[in-house]
């Protein structure tokens, strides 16, 4: 496989039983990050429903933040260049400390979203790849009497005995760059008991990332061939 995926977003939510929002424990985490040097997040802000740690961004549309809300912790790294390893480490480290300070004993569910871009090898346009290579369309879209702006495919994978988690995969052309294929994998995972450790949350980030950057690209590779070969 010769693709070079460019991951543009990591998102993660850790759901927990509802609790009264209290910014004080999150401000303590913020202070501890600075005392440790090279903090993962620069700013702290209280919210009506909780608190947020964030970093300043200059790129339009970029977000680097983690929100601590009444029923969940929400991590967002969009257009920041964060690696899967760094994002997973933030999820584990901050969730562990927040659970300790806020008395969270269980995360009832975890969702992870990974978005990445990749250029096909034998097509210069992602719509052409999806229309002709992946979907095998010829003139069928003429039935709409207008040309679709985007083309795509959605695949849903239910939990199995060996892999008891669900994935929802989107493969689409990308409006901002006609050369790029947009892939999004949405992973849904079961409960995590805090007392047993949160390394499972790290593994879930890694599973979601691997599914889209390895398995999904292996799937696309089968259709990324020169026409007529």
Give the whole-number percent of the chain exceeding pLDDT 70.
98
Q: What is the pLDDT of residue 228?
A: 55
Q: What is the pLDDT of residue 179?
A: 93
Whether 73 contacts 88, CB under 8 Å: no
The model's pLDDT over 25-81, given as tens digits with 9 standing for 90+, comes to 999 999 999 998 888 999 999 988 999 999 999 999 999 999 999 999 999 999 999
C-alpha span between 37 and 25 (Å, rounded)? 19
C-alpha span between 30 and 104 (Å, rounded)? 18
Q: Is the pTM of this model over 0.75?
A: yes
pLDDT bracket for residue 137 (50, 70, 90): confident
Q: What is the pLDDT of residue 182?
A: 97
Average pLDDT, the chain: 94
Give the whole-number percent of the chain exceeding pLDDT 90.
84
In the chain, where the domains are located? 6-221
Q: What is the pLDDT of residue 227?
A: 64
The model's pLDDT over 170-202, given as tens digits with 9 standing for 90+, comes to 999 998 899 999 999 999 999 999 999 999 999
Q: Which residue has the tokens 């899967």?
A: 84
Of 64-68, 112-116, 138-142, the one with minimum mean pLDDT is 138-142
pLDDT higher than 60, residue 229: no
Helix (H, G, I), strand (E, B) or coil at 75: strand
Q: Which residue has the tokens 């970029």?
A: 62
Using DSSP bridges, classify how beta strands 166-173 and 181-189 pair: parallel, antiparallel or unpaired: antiparallel
Whose CA is closest to 84, among 46, 114, 43? 114
- Let me know if 207 is exposed, middle or buried by CB neighbors in 10 A (0-12, 13-18, 19+): middle
Paired tokens of 73: 């912790």
């Amino acid at each position: 496989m010769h693709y070079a995926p460019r991951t543009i977003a990591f998102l993660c939510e850790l759901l927990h039983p509802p609790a009264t929002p209290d910014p004080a424990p999150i401000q303590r985490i913020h202070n501890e990050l600075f005392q440790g040097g090279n903090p993962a997040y620069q700013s702290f802000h209280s919210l009506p429903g909780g608190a947020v740690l964030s970093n300043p961004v200059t790129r339009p549309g970029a977000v680097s933040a983690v929100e601590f809300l009444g029923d969940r912790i929400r991590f967002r790294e969009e257009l920041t260049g964060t690696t899967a390893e760094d994002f997973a480490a933030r999820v584990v480290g901050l969730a562990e400390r927040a659970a300790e300070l806020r008395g969270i004993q269980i995360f009832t569910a975890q969702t992870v979203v990974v978005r990445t871009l990749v250029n096909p090898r034998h097509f210069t346009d992602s719509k052409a790849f999806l229309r002709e290579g992946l979907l095998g369309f010829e003139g069928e879209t003429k039935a709409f009497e207008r040309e679709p702006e985007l083309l795509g495919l959605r695949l849903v994978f239910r939990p199995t005995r060996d892999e008891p988690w669900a994935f929802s995969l989107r493969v689409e052309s990308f409006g901002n760059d006609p050369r790029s294929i947009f892939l999004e994998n949405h992973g849904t995972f079961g409960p995590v008991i805090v007392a047993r450790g949160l390394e499972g949350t790290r593994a879930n980030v890694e599973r979601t990332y691997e599914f889209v950057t390895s398995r999904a690209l292996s799937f696309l590779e089968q259709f990324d061939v020169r026409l007529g070969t």
